[in-house]
Structure 1
Amino acid sequence: MRIVAARAEDARAIAEVHVASWRATYAGLIPDRVLDSLTVAERTALWQRVLAPGSGWVIVARDGDRVVGFVSGLDARDGDDEARDGEILALYLLPEYHRRGIGRHLFAAACRRLAADGFRSLRLWVLAGNPTRGFYRRLGGRADRREDDLIGGVRVPAVRYTWDRLPG
């Protein structure tokens, strides 16, 4: 398994992971019609924009040549500019790659990237019913805020996890 920076040509593979992971993880948490409407083509367009120069960063997990997971991040959307909070926006794995330690490696790589960019703390949002909440607690995250997220016209509770210092 290799953890490396994503390339522009990885957009479709990242989109495939994104769609598969959402369908597996969010079944029962968000409306089925939203999950059924997800397309690799739409997500590919999204990830092409994210991977464009100067737009953001993505780190992928590769099993051979296959992208099996990814993480992306940026400045925290709800943070104090002075605090230099980074934010992980997405961390997803193909379901068959869960519980192999890959998520931990992606998380650590994201923290290293955020530290290199000058961030000192970290935030991320997780749907309240998401089974990965325990993963973030085990990594030292503290649930400190709840808000509803609007997904497919339905309000879904989300929880923010915070690390006052970047792990690692």
Structure 2
Amino acid sequence: MVRIADARPEDARALAEVHVAAWRETYAGLLPDRALDTLSVPERTALWRRVMEGGGWVIAARDGGRIVGFVSGGPARDGDLPAATGEIVALYLLKAHHGRGHGKALFTAACRRLARDGCRGLALWVLAGNPTRGFYRRRGGTADKAEDDVVAGTRVRAVRYVWPHLPG
């Protein structure tokens, strides 16, 4: 049974392990192997610890106590979005847990958290080649913008999905 709950700073290493593994699973073929090979669990551990100790939030999916996915967000960073728009900055789930409802549960938990924080709309960015883009479309997201970005030293195309109202 999966349990969705706030992560704590002591979960930073487990979050980092999921982050690195999910990048390698999801972005194989989209990013060069050298970029994926250099991903660092210690660097991501420090990142997630800083996020949580700095007042940011992370919600984790635990299966049998083990973190298998997570979501993090906050106020939208893009200046062209309406006021009170929230953003999902990261949503990662180990591939072995796809199709079990864990991603939907994390997405829903993030929307609830953003609503509690006063957000009314939602935005997120995803790589154009990411095979999980359909997940966001099925939840009512509309692609409204695409931009080139550099991820792990590689130029990629990213697509922004928006929801004028937070999904229920």
Q: TM-score, normalised by structure 1?
A: 0.96
Matching residue's letter, 2:11 = D
Calculate the aligned-residue CA RMSD, in Å.
1.1
Matching residue of 2:8: 7
SS in structure 2 at match of 1:83: coil
User: Which runs of 5 or more residues in structure 1 are unaligned?
Assistant: none
Deviates more, 1:147-156 or 1:105-114: 147-156
Deviates more, 1:39-48 or 1:125-134: 39-48
SS in structure 2 at match of 1:29: coil
Aligned partners of 2:115, 2:24: CA distance in 1, in Å?
32
Matching residue of 1:75: 75
Alignment of 1:24-63 (within 5 A): 24-54=25-55, 56-63=56-63
Deviates more, 1:45-54 or 1:84-93: 45-54
CA contact (8 A) 1:2 1:63 kept: yes
CA contact (8 A) 2:35 2:153 kept: no
Matching residue of 2:108: 108
1:94-116 CA distances to partner (integer Å, 9 max, x unpaired)? Answer: 11111111000000000000000
User: Which runs of 5 or more residues in structure 2 are unaligned?
Assistant: none
Matching residue of 2:162: 162
Matching residue of 2:23: 22
Aligned partners of 2:89, 2:58: CA distance in 1, in Å?
10
CA contact (8 A) 1:79 1:85 kept: no
Matching residue of 1:140: 140
How far did 1:81 drift? 7.4
Matching residue of 1:117: 117
Matching residue's letter, 2:120 = R
Matching residue of 2:98: 98
Structure-2 change in CA distance of 1:51 and 1:155 (3 Å): same
CA contact (8 A) 1:146 1:160 kept: yes
Number of equivalences:
167
How far did 1:80 drift? 4.9
1:64-111 CA distances to partner (integer Å, 9 max, x unpaired)? Answer: 210010000011110457521100000001111111110000000000
SS in structure 2 at match of 1:150: strand
CA contact (8 A) 1:126 1:160 kept: yes
1:8-39 CA distances to partner (integer Å, 9 max, x unpaired)? Answer: 11000000000000000001111211100002
- Percent identical pairs in the alignment equals 70
CA contact (8 A) 1:17 1:68 kept: yes
Aligned partners of 2:82, 2:140: CA distance in 1, in Å?
22
Aligned partners of 2:47, 2:155: CA distance in 1, in Å?
23
